[in-house]
Amino acid sequence: MTASLQHLLAPRSIAIIGASEDFSRISGRPLKFLIDKNYGGAIYPVNPKYPAIAGRPCYPSAAAIPDPVDLAIVVLPAALVVKSLADLATKGIDTAVVFSSGFAEMGGEGARLQAELATAAHALGIRICGPNCLGLINAFDNVMATFSQFADGPTPSGPVGFVTQSGAFGTAIAALARRRDLGLGYFVNTGNESDIGVCEVLHDVISDPRIRVGAGYVEGLKDGERLIEVANRALALGKPLVLTKVGRTESGARAALSHTGSAAGDDKVFSGVTRQFGVVRARNEEHMLDLVEAFSHCGLPQGRGIGIVTQSGGAGVLMADRAEELGLPLPILSAQTTANLRAAIPAFGIAFNPVDITGQFVAEPGLLERSVHLLLADEAIHVGIVWLQLMDAHVEKLLALFSRIKAEASKPFVVCWVAAPAAAIHGLHAMGIPVLRGAEAAIDAVAGLIEYAAARRSWAARTQRTAEQALSLPALSAEGGPLSATEAAGLLASVGVPLVPITLAHSAEEAARIARSFERPAALKLQSPDFRRGAGDDDAIFGLTTDSEVRAAYDELMRSAQARHPGARIAGLAVQPMAPAGLELVIRLQRDSVFGMVVMVGLGGVLFEVLGDAVFRAAPVSAADAADMLNELQGRDLLDGARGSTGVSKAEIASLIANVSRLGSALGSRLLELELNPIIASGATLFAADWRVVLE
């Protein structure tokens, strides 16, 4: 664990500022929990009203505590919180959990009070968790710095570190985790995050060697860098990070705004960036716990092949459906595996993947053992799923069976046990076997294993790569705003973006002469800082085939420009050959409020404009990352030549995305926006036909 949050997450002593002797109250509950759950450190209730609480001396102020204090829990009315900080500082306390509500979640006056709290705490060198939070549990060390009703029940420790921005929803998730026999080593609620945020806590939580999986519930992030930092830390440690982020849609983002006051950000950007840095995103609380279940108790698969053994053909079909929906069609087993399985299972079973061994294995337990063994031995299979149901009467027999299967298993596998008895779940966990609750949930969880394993491999490859050369860019005009098409062309060409040639003409005759040099029809485009390209078609004319057409077009564009904007500054008219037909793409760099410079690729036309088919990443990306982006496009089949076309070079496009993204990070805050639209791809050729670069 880094030093920074040590006092928050593993305090050796705790003061409770505003402690109450009524253990049913928020101000009484932390003391009760700390005592009941045998916290090993020192506990100092602070409240001038009492000489003692629960037989312990109670202090009139933090300053009056005789011994060192690592963490203060502050349970005062909002108006008194800021004032209490001076007392903490006097005592030398550098970390506080503030339960009190009445801050930013109230808006107006509350927001002002929170800003005051943040400023005061910063000046005094006190780190703040909260305000308006439930606090935290470190179950390893029995740190119960919380008033959450979750602590009313058992809080066994385990390999999962769970950090949540929402207190109520976080409590619900923790309760679900407990029902599923998933031990939470840490449960931390960051509340309003006046100082310490969910990413910082996750960073330190996953650094604890007792933690194997990090899980987070997020409503809004202010600083995307922090997320990338914790994601990289998690990759380096080899500990998966699972996040649920709400505010996926417009309605959701609006609701999130009224809830925490922070906009949910562009959800597609969040999805893209988490994927880029190996964070597994869960769509809701159950899905998150399914993933945590799998990561807590299962090794990582070496490939994408899922093999299934069921006692129900139907469950097998449902899993095959779901796997295909997620882009993981079940591999076909080798002829040898199929023959071996056929010999092993009943005649009315199914020896294909998904393998159906039927209920017969209850009478004949060796059947399950043999078939899982045969399935996992197949080269095409990298991870197994064993589906079961009910079997209340056979728990012990099955546990013995799985103990043998686990001992022999050459590859990771999960158990999907619908309506599993609690004893079965606990017994399987003890063997290091995850138990999923349903057929679709099992596939979703295994897909998470596969996705994370791939991300980890690509991360390992990335870190081995030699440092990239710095870009040498042409000097850019100092003033901000849109670059001229030719200046932008120079910039783009410097990073190897293939462009449809562009030449500036200053007379109709010059335009015609340039156009004659093409073998294709020409396009003329007005170049002027006083006209914004794309606003209309008044500043471009396309498809000019003859000299006289080019000349007439030149005159027409100049006349129209003067008419619309007398005295406009006109640099000339750009003359370009028309691009041949092909598949149209869009690549864009834009600034995201959370993640900074992001790169986007979309398929031009109806998919992009109507369905919003586009994929984002934080810039820069490697060509391999960019290839992943292309594979996430809904219309990706078009790249491979759907609709009878010949397909395009995905490698060329990926390399272009990577180059553009490097330009984005090189220009940094100077760049406001860059768009190549359309890029026209056909076979191995690729050209940007139009572009736009806007500086800050």
- For residues 335 and 379, the answer to whether their CB atoms sit within 8 Å is no
- Which position has the token pair 């100077």? 670
Among 5, 120, 320, 660, binds a second copy (CB under 8 A): 320
Among 50, 140, 169, 518, binds a second copy (CB under 8 A): 169
Give the residue with the Cβ less far from a second copy, 94 or 290. Answer: 290
Give the residue with the Cβ less far from a second copy, 64 or 172. Answer: 172
Least distance to a second copy from the beta carbon of 330, Å?
Answer: 5
Among 247, 305, 577, 596, binds a second copy (CB under 8 A): 247
Residue 472 near a second copy by CB under 8 A: no
Residue 371 near a second copy by CB under 8 A: no
- Which position has the token pair 């030719």? 486
Cα separation values, 364 from 12, 112, 372, 377, Å: 55, 70, 14, 21
Residue 179 near a second copy by CB under 8 A: yes
Residue 250 near a second copy by CB under 8 A: yes
Residue 393 near a second copy by CB under 8 A: yes
List the interface residues with a second copy, window 340-359 (CB under 8 A): 347-348, 350, 352, 354, 356, 358-359
User: 111-116: which pairs have CB atoms within 8 A and are 24 or more residues apart?
Assistant: 111/261, 113/78, 113/79, 113/82, 114/192, 114/194, 116/82
Please, what sign has the CA dihedral across residues 388, 391, 395, 398? Answer: negative
Burial grade of 28 (CB within 10 A; 0-12, 13-18, 19 or more): buried
Task: Give the whole-angstrom CA distance, residue 638 versus residue 616.
Answer: 19
Residue 217 near a second copy by CB under 8 A: yes
Residue 166 near a second copy by CB under 8 A: yes
User: 313-317: which pairs have CB atoms within 8 A and are 24 or more residues apart?
Assistant: 313/350, 313/354, 313/356, 315/354, 315/387, 315/389, 315/416, 315/418, 315/439, 316/350, 316/354, 316/355, 316/356, 316/387, 317/354
In three-state form (DSSP H/G/I as H, E/B as E, the rest C), the secondary structure along 5-66 is: CHHHHCCCEEEEECCCCCCCCCCCHHHHHHHHCCCCCEEEEECCCCCEECCEECECCHHHCC
Name residue 186's amino acid: Y
Greatest CA span in the chain, whole angstroms?
A: 101
Strands (E), 358-446: 383-389, 413-418, 435-436
Residue 545 near a second copy by CB under 8 A: no
Residue 666 near a second copy by CB under 8 A: no
Residue 462 near a second copy by CB under 8 A: no
Residues in contact with a second copy, counted by CB under 8 A, come to a total of 94
Q: Is 596 left (phi over 0), alpha (psi -120 to 50) or beta?
A: left
Residue 38 near a second copy by CB under 8 A: no
Least distance to a second copy from the beta carbon of 320, Å?
Answer: 4
Least distance to a second copy from the beta carbon of 257, Å?
Answer: 9
List the interface residues with a second copy, window 601-660 (CB under 8 A): 605-607, 609-611, 634-635, 637-638, 642-643
List the interface residues with a second copy, window 72-111 (CB under 8 A): 101-102, 105-106, 110
- Which position has the token pair 């993981």? 328
Q: Specify the stretch interacting with a second copy by CB under 8 A; choose among 36-44, 114-122, 310-318, 485-493.
A: 310-318
Give the residue with the Cβ less far from a second copy, 347 or 467. Answer: 347
84: its two tokens: 């209490």
List the interface residues with a second copy, window 262-281 (CB under 8 A): 264
Residue 324 near a second copy by CB under 8 A: yes
- Which position has the token pair 């043998």? 404
Q: Specify the stretch interacting with a second copy by CB under 8 A; choose among 43-51, 307-315, 567-575, 618-626.
A: 307-315
Residue 390 near a second copy by CB under 8 A: yes
Rg for the chain, CA atoms, rounded: 31
Q: Specify the stretch interacting with a second copy by CB under 8 A; choose among 1-9, 291-299, 433-441, 559-567.
A: 433-441
Among 74, 242, 273, 318, binds a second copy (CB under 8 A): 318
Least distance to a second copy from the beta carbon of 632, Å?
Answer: 14
Residue 285 near a second copy by CB under 8 A: yes
Strands (E), 467-546: 481-482, 503-505, 522-527, 540-544
List the interface residues with a second copy, window 131-160 (CB under 8 A): 132, 149-150, 152-153
Least distance to a second copy from the beta carbon of 410, Å?
Answer: 24
Give the residue with the Cβ less far from a second copy, 321 or 509. Answer: 321
- Which position has the token pair 């990926």? 654
Residue 176 near a second copy by CB under 8 A: yes
Task: Name the pairing type of β-strands 95-98 and 71-74.
Answer: parallel
Among 10, 118, 173, 621, binds a second copy (CB under 8 A): 173
Give the residue with the Cβ less far from a second copy, 208 or 356. Answer: 356
Task: Give the whole-angstrom CA distance, residue 84 versus residue 76.
Answer: 9
